[in-house]
Amino acid sequence: MTKHLVKTGGKLYLAGEYAILTPGQQALIKNIPIYLSGQIEPALSYQLYSDMFDYEVGLEAEDNYSLIQETIAVVHDFIKGQGLKLRPFRLSITGKLEKGGKKFGIGSSGSVTVLVVKALASFYQQDWTADFIFKLASYTLLKRGDNGSMGDLACIAYEDLVLYRAFDREQVRTWIAEEGLSQVLARDWGYQIEPIEPALDFDFLVGWTGQPAISKEMIVPVKSAIGPDFLELTQVAVEAIARGLKTGDKELIKSSLLEVSRLLKDLHPAIYTKELLDLQAAVEGLDAVAKSSGSGGGDCGIALSFNPVHSQEIIERWRKAGIELLFRQGSL
Ligand code: PMV
Ligand code: MG
C-alpha cells in the first residue's frame, strides 16, 4: 500500500494586510517554514484524523472537521469531473501550528486547506500547479463563506514570498452559486501571484506575543474603517517595498514598511496591542524595521534587520518584553 506524504508551511503578512480585502489591492506575504504534515493512504473506509483533536471521523459532517471535509468534497467533485473513481483513504494531519494550546497565528486554517488539496492531488496522482492548488483551496473557503482575502492561500500554495493582487471575491462567489466547479476553475479570476526574490540580505525575525487573535473577528470592525486614502497609500507603499526588495533598496524598504505600519495604526486601535507596540519599539536605534503582521490584535509581529548584531539585540529586547522569537531566517 502506498503512503503519500505532503506538507504545507505557514505565512505572515509583510505589508498590505486589511487593504488586501479590497479587490485589485496588493500585499506582500512571506512563507514561514513551520510545517503541517499530511499522510494519506488507501483504506477500506474514509478515516480523517487531525492532532488538533483527539478523535477520528469519517466523511459524515462533523463540526471540528468541517474545513477538512469540505475541502475533500470540493476536490472529490473535481476528481469525479475528470472521470476518475473516488477511493476511500485514511488522511492524518499532524504538526498543529501552536504551543500550549495557543495558536501562533501563522495561518493554520489556510495551511490545512492547502494541505488537504495537496494530499488528495498526490493520492489521485494529479500533477497540479501551485496556481491550481490556490484556486481549489480558495474555492473551498469562498464556498464556506470565509471572509478572508485568500492572500494566505496564495503564499502557502506557492511556498514563497509573494506579491499577491486580490481578486473580486463577490464575483467568484456568484460564479460558484451559478456554475459548475470546472467552469468556475477555468475562468480567469483576475488575481496575480508573483514570487519575489529579494536582492539584498537581511534577517527576518518573527516575534510571538503569545496572545491569540482571531482574524475573522478582527476583520469585521476594522473593515468598516477602511477608506480610499488608506487603500491608496497602502498600495503605493506595498509597491515601494516590492521594488525595494527587488532592487535591494534598504532605505526604501524601511521607510515604506514604517508607512504601512503607520497606516495600520491610524486605521483601527485594535490592531496594535501593547505587546505589538513593544515589539516594534524594540528596533529603536537599530538598523532594522518592525511592525505588526496580519490582523494584529495579538499573534505575531515581524522585524527585518540589516545587521546581525542588531538582530541579536532585537531578540534580547523582545525577550525582556515577553515576546518570544518564533522564527528567524537569516541571510546575514
Ligand atoms: O492575521 P493573519 O495573518 O491571518 O492576516 C490577516 C490579514 C487580513 O488582511 C486582515 C485578512 C485577510 O484575509 O487578508
Ligand atoms: Mg492573525
Query: Measured in whole angstroms, how far is the alpha carbon of residue 20 from the centre of its chain?
Result: 12
Q: What is the pLDDT of residue 218?
A: 94
Ligand 1 proximity of 325 Cβ (cutoff 6 Å): no
Exposed e or buried b per residue across 84-119, where buried means at least 16 C-beta atoms within 10 angstroms of its C-beta? eeeeebbbbbebbbeeeeebbbbbbbbbbbbbbbbb
Tell me what the mean pLDDT of segment 41-68 comes to.
Answer: 96
What residue owns the CA closest to ligand 1's atom 13?
A: 148
Q: pLDDT-based confidence at 1, cuts 50/70/90?
A: low
**Is pLDDT at 308 greater than 80 in this prediction?**
yes
- Helix 151-158 with 130-143: angle, nearest 10 deg: 150
302 forms bridges with which residues in the sheet? 206, 291
| pLDDT, position 68 | 98
Looking at residue 146, what is its pLDDT? 94
Spacing, Cα 294 to ligand 1 middle (Å): 5
Q: Is the pLDDT of residue 197 over 90?
A: yes
Assess contact for 330 and 241: CB atoms under 8 A.
no
Cβ neighbours around 283 below 10 Å, total: 23
| Spacing, Cα 214 to ligand 1 middle (Å) | 9
Cα separation, 59 vs 43, in Å, equals 13
pLDDT range class, residue 206, cuts 50, 70, 90: very high
Q: Whose CA is nearest to atom 7 of ligand 1?
A: 294
Stretch 16-20: mean pLDDT: 98
Q: What percent of the chain has pLDDT over 90?
A: 93
The vertex-40 CA angle with 34 and 44, nearest 5°, equals 155
Using CA positions, which residue lies closest to atom 14 of ligand 1?
149
Q: Is the CB of 10 under 6 A from ligand 1?
A: no
Domains contained in the chain, CATH given:
4-195 (3.30.230.10), 203-329 (3.30.70.890)
Q: Whose CA is nearest to atom 2 of ligand 1?
A: 294
Q: Which three cell numbers stand for residue 224?
A: 468598516
Answer yes or no: is the C-beta of 17 below 6 A from any ligand 1 atom. Answer: yes
Rounded CA separation 235/230 (Å):
8
Quick check: CB of 95 below 6 Å from ligand 1?
A: no
Which atom, in ligand 1's list, is nearest to the CA of 299? 1
Per-residue pLDDT tens over the stretch 236-287: 999 999 999 999 999 999 999 999 999 999 999 999 999 999 999 999 999 9
* Sequence-distant (≥ 6) Cβ neighbours of residue 317 within 8 angstroms: 282
**Using alpha carbons only, how large is the chain's radius of gyration in Å?**
20
- CA 252 to ligand 1 center in whole angstroms: 24
State yes or no: pLDDT of 325 exceeds 70: yes
| Tens-digit pLDDT profile for residues 90-126 | 999 999 888 888 888 898 899 999 999 999 999 999 9
Is the distance from the beta carbon of residue 149 to the nearest atom of ligand 1 less than 6 Å? Answer: yes
Q: How far is the CA of 301 from the centre of ligand 2 (A)?
A: 10
| Look-up of cell digits 504538526 | 95
What's the CA-to-centroid distance between 73 and ligand 1, angstroms?
Answer: 25
3-class DSSP state of 30: strand
- Ligand 1 test: best mutation among 11, 17, 271, most atoms within 8 Å of CB? 17
Q: Mean pLDDT of all residues in the chain?
A: 97
Contacts of 232 (CB under 8 A, 6+ apart): none
- Predicted TM-score of the model (pTM): 0.97
Please give the sequence-ordered ranges of beta strands (E in DSSP) within 137-265, or none if there are none: 162-165, 192-195, 203-208
